[in-house]
Amino acid sequence: MSKVFVVDCSIAMAWLFHDEATPKTAASLNRLATETALVPGWWFIEITNVLAIAEQKLGVGLLG
């Protein structure tokens, strides 16, 4: 079994929104090559909320 780590919404969104990226978020993305990521049960709700707000603020071009 591979190593496991937890990814929260802020880490995942830093992968999408590059202006939020840090060396730590980049390292966590690289870990996916060899480790398994787990997310909290409410992760999908948080992600949906962040994307909906970003779409409102930044326009439809973000998701489409």
- pLDDT tens column, 18-29: 888 999 999 999
Neighbours of 11 (CB within 10 A): 19
Please give the Cα distance from 8 to 34 (Å, whole number): 18
1 pLDDT more than 80: no
Q: Do 13 and 50 meet the contact criterion of CB atoms below 8 Å apart?
A: yes
pLDDT over 70 for what percent of the chain?
91
Confidence of residue 57 (pLDDT cuts 50, 70, 90): confident
Strand duo 4-6 + 36-38: pairing: parallel
pTM for this structure?
Answer: 0.79
The pLDDT value recorded for residue 4 is 96
User: Is 51's pLDDT higher than 60?
Assistant: yes
Helices 43-58, 9-16: crossing angle, 10 deg rounding: 40
